[in-house]
Amino acid sequence: MIPSPVNTEFSNRLRRASQIFPAYAYLEGIPIKKVQSFAGTLLDLSDAAFSGSPGCSGLNADQAPVQLCITLAPEGARFRLIADPASDDVVHSHRYLRAKSALRKTMELTRTQGMGVLVEDLLTVFGPQSDSHLESFTHGVFWLAASVGEGGIAVYLDTSVYSIDTAWDKTEQWFCSIMEQKKVAAMIATIRPYCWLSSLGVEGYDRYRSRLKLYIHAYKALPASFFGDLFPPLSILGTSGCFRLIMGDVGLSPEDIFYNIGVHTVSGEIVDAKIDIPGTVLKLVPEKAEQVVDSCCKALNIQRLPLNALLKEYNLAVSFIGVGVNRDGEPRLNIYLKGNYE
C-alpha cells in the first residue's frame, strides 16, 4: 500500500496521481489494492522523505508523478503506468539511488531482468557522470513504465541536460555499440540537422526483444517528406487525416510536437514511429477528447474507447495524445491520462 505522506504539497501530488489507480483497475479488471501496490513499487515510496519540500517532477505539469497510458491498436487495448520514482526526494543523489532501487524491483516484478544490461548502459552513457553533474538533473534522471501482471518494462531518460551536439554524439556512440553502425549513422545524419533530442528510452523484455526510443523536437522547418522518407509507413498516418482531427484549428509551434522513433536493438532497423501532442495545448476537455479519439479510431479502423465516461467517472484529464504506426503499417493511438487539477 502507498503510505500517507506528511508533506502537504507531495500529498496533493500523490492524491492527483492516485485518481489514476481505480481507472487502471477498472480497465484491467484487477483489484485496486494490486494496482496501488504496483504503483508503490514504481514510485519507490518505501523510504519517502516526506518532511520539507518535495523534489520536482517533469512527468505532468502539476507535478503529479504518475500517468496512465492507454494504447488502442487493431489487436485491442493495452494499459500501463508511467511513474517518476522517488520524486518526493529533494536530495538528488538520494533520489537517484531510490529510483534505481525502484527499477530493480520493477524488473523483478515484470520478469525483465534481461533488460538489465541495456538499461545500465543507458544510465552509464546518458545518466549523471559525477556527483556535480547529477545536480543538473533537477527533475530526476529517469521515468519507469510497466503494466501490472505483464512482462515488459520501459525506462525513459532525460537528455536535455546535454547540449544538442553532445546529446547526438552520445546517441550515435551508444547506438553503434549495440547495433549495425551504417544504419545508425545514416538515421542520425538524417535527423540531426533539424532536431534536438529531449530524451531516450529503452522498451522491451530482454536484450533481443527490445527497442531504443528517440524523443525529438524540431527546431527548424522540416522538409515535407522528412518522416515519410525516414520511415515510409508514416505516410499511412499522413493520409489518414488523424493529425488534422487532433489539432483542429489549434495553431501549434514546433516545440509543441514530440516525434519519437523506435529502433530494434539487434537489427538497427526503425520499427515504429509516433507523434505526440500535449493535451493542454489542444485544450481537450472530456467531450472534445472523446470526439477526437473516436474520429481517430474511425480513421485508423481501430476499436474505440468510451473516453468521456472514463475521464468523468475518475476525474482524469488528457496529458498527451499520440498517433503511431509500426513497420507493418499497423496504426495505434496512445492516450496519456493524469489526475485532474480539481
Question: Where do the structural domains in the chain lie, given as residue ranges?
Answer: 8-339
Crossing angle for the helix pair 20-28 and 307-314, nearest 10 degrees? 140
Residue among 92, 224, 18 nearest 100 (CA): 92
Asked if residue 90 lies in contact with residue 54, where contact means CB atoms within 8 angstroms, the answer is yes
Burial of 185 (0-12, 13-18, 19+ CB in 10 A): middle
Asked if residue 337 lies in contact with residue 318, where contact means CB atoms within 8 angstroms, the answer is yes
* Amino acid (one-letter) located at 335: I
Burial of 189 (0-12, 13-18, 19+ CB in 10 A): exposed
Per-residue pLDDT for the chain (342 aa), expressed as one digit of tens each?
455 555 778 888 888 889 999 999 999 999 999 999 999 999 998 666 555 678 899 898 888 899 999 999 998 999 999 999 999 998 999 999 999 999 999 999 999 999 999 999 999 999 999 999 999 999 999 999 999 988 899 999 999 999 999 999 999 989 888 887 888 888 899 999 999 999 999 999 998 999 999 999 998 888 888 888 889 998 888 888 888 888 877 766 667 788 999 999 988 899 999 989 888 778 888 888 899 999 999 999 998 889 999 999 999 999 999 999 999 999 999 999 999 865
Angstrom distance (rounded) from CA 286 to CA 64: 19
pTM, two decimals, is 0.93
